[in-house]
Amino acid sequence: MSETPAPAAAPAASAPGKTLGVVGLIFAFLFPLLGLILSIVAKVQSNRASVKNGPATAGIVLSIIFIVIYLIIVIAVAVGAGAALGQCADLGPGVHELDNGVTLTCG
């Protein structure tokens, strides 16, 4: 007698939010605000299914860190540009050699 083969196992169900968590983690490096949003959505989906989602958590943390770093850079550039514009307002148009050896060109 021949035995009938056992039915093939069904493919494992993917954990809800897992793929979106990985996408959010990748976007955390490229576009932190979008990475934060995607990671939060993935985390909520996983929490609703009572599943842990490490990539989503990492995406949230890294997105926040990169957003803070980018904000610091933007503020530093804005302060530097404001200082340069303030000196140009005082000095007037032209090329000026400052006391610290920096050449400032005002238009």
Q: How confident is the model at residue 99 (pLDDT cuts 50, 70, 90)?
A: confident
Q: Which residue has the higher pLDDT, 97 or 4?
A: 97
Q: How far apart are CA 60 and CA 39, in angstroms?
A: 6
Residue 94 parent element (H or E): strand 94-97
Residues 6+ apart with CB under 8 A from 32: 62, 63, 64, 66, 67, 70
Q: What is the pLDDT of residues 53-85, one digit of tens each?
A: 999 999 999 999 999 999 999 999 999 999 888
| In the chain, % of residues over pLDDT 70 | 89
